[in-house]
């Protein structure tokens, strides 16, 4: 089990941990009925905070932010000398957490995406982990709700008896959701995004070799060029430039956690 601590990458606090540590923390929080907000960030996720101080404050208020992308893991090594053997990839963390929660006899709640994706995702999870109990599933409304309705959503999740929530709203909406529900849910919240589509069998994952060398973005760009070209062709070079500036000491703000007052978003 590895936990080297947390380190700023472009002002975002990234936890240098392995799968075993992350899963242990999630199961412990579920067992204790304790809020524990988790996100797995790749380059795009880090850049959403690096370019928005308000969102950076949300990310830095989460309990565990793991390096989902290889370039984020490499930044930990290059900037801070932290040598992780592997990233903590959101889709894998989803499966490891589901397995551990099933073994512990604790149920989960699926929130986000569409009803069709949720049905396929939940079916596949239960085929893989027959002991896993899915206490409920609720699709995204793709809308903004009032704080009162947000409280009612949280109440439905609590009433289901679930001990953990997997959230798939896409970045950065799912991180906002996790942040805003920290005080509303007494259970771990995992913002795992594309894991819903991957494990529903609707979106293929990049081959292992591309994943290993940090080229998963190229595979996803090939799949969805119209939706993703701005994310990868604009943000990836900006990320590399900002990491270089942090390394050279040219951007001192990147080495600090950004803290500012945040506004309510109410994503649902």
Task: Convert the pLDDT of each residue in 94-113 to its tens digit.
Answer: 999 999 999 999 999 999 99
Structure tokens, 154? 């949280």
Q: How far is CA 195 from the centre of its chain?
A: 10
Q: What SS3 string covers 106-120? A: CCEEEEECCHHHHHH
pLDDT at 10 over 90: yes
Q: Is the pTM of this model over 0.75?
A: yes
Task: Report pLDDT digits (tens) over 161-173.
Answer: 999 999 999 999 9
Q: Name the DSSP letter for residue 262.
A: -
C-alpha to C-alpha distance for 86 and 106, rounded to whole angstroms: 27
- Phi, psi at 36, each rounded to 5°: -160, 100
pLDDT at 257 over 80: no
């Amino acid at each position: 089990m590895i936990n080297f601590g947390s380190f700023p990458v472009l002002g975002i606090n990234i936890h240098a941990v392995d799968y075993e540590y992350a899963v242990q923390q999630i199961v412990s929080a579920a067992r204790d009925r304790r809020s524990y907000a988790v996100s797995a960030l790749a380059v795009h996720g880090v850049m959403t905070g690096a370019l928005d101080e308000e969102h950076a404050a949300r990310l830095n208020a989460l309990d565990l932010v793991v390096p989902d992308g290889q370039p984020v893991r490499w930044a930990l090594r290059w900037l801070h000398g932290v040598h992780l053997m592997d990233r903590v990839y959101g889709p894998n963390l989803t499966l490891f957490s589901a397995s551990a929660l099933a073994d512990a006899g604790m149920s989960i709640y699926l929130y986000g995406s569409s009803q069709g994706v949720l049905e396929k995702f939940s079916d596949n999870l239960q085929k893989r982990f027959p002991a896993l109990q899915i206490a409920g599933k609720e699709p995204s409304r793709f809308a903004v709700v009032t704080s009162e309705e947000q409280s009612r959503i949280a109440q439905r999740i609590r009433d289901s008896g679930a001990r953990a929530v997997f959230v798939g709203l896409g970045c950065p909406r799912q991180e906002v959701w996790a942040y805003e529900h920290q005080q509303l849910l007494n259970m771990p919240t995992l913002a795992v995004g594309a894991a819903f589509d991957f494990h529903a069998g609707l979106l293929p994952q990049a081959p292992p070799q591309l994943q290993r060398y940090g080229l998963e973005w190229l595979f996803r760009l090939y799949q969805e060029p119209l939706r993703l070209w701005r994310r990868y062709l604009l943000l990836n070079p900006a990320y590399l430039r900002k990491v270089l500036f942090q390394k050279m000491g040219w951007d001192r703000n990147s080495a600090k956690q950004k803290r500012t007052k945040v506004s309510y978003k109410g994503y649902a």
